[in-house]
């Protein structure tokens, strides 16, 4: 499972059991941090997730982006519950997601939820490609 954390929405993507195909799963709307963690834990349990990849926003020079603390916070919260978590460079994932949606004829301004779930999919696809 991959998570694209944000301050308004959290995109989620899930792979098949063979870790070959990543697909958009859902978007959580950020109302309260504790609720986001509860919702993530419910999805992890329901889908029997064995590893969570969290998008880690880095700048071009490799330093942490503005929302990097959120990625660290989510990582710590999930690891406290014995979930295997890895931060993963998410540079360009939102840009690639927007391009994919445009190619499908979906206006990105009207499909913010789709962008977040698609960005999580891009992160997961990239991660899965490193396993081959």
Report residue 50's pLDDT band, with 50, 70 and 90 as the boundaries: very high
pLDDT at 69 over 90: yes
> For 81-109, what is the mean pLDDT?
86
Residue 89 in contact with residue 129, Cβ under 8 Å?
Answer: no
Domains of the chain in sequence order: 2-129 (3.30.420.140)
CA 17, 18, 24, 28 torsion-angle sign: positive
* pTM of the model as a whole: 0.90
Taking only the tens place, the pLDDT of each residue in 106-128 is 776 667 778 899 999 999 999 99
């Amino acid at each position: 499972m991959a998570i694209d954390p944000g301050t308004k929405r959290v995109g989620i993507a899930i792979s098949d059991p063979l870790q070959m195909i990543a697909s958009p799963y859902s978007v959580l709307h950020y109302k309260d941090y504790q609720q986001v963690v509860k919702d993530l834990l419910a999805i992890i349990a329901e889908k029997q997730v064995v590893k969570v990849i969290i998008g880690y926003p880095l700048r071009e020079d490799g330093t942490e982006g503005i929302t990097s603390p959120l990625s660290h916070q989510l990582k710590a919260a999930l690891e406290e519950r014995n979930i295997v978590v890895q931060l993963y460079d998410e540079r360009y994932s939102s840009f690639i997601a927007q391009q994919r949606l445009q190619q499908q004829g979906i206006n990105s301004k009207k499909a913010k939820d789709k962008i977040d779930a698609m960005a999580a999919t891009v992160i997961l696809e990239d991660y899965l490609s490193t396993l081959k």
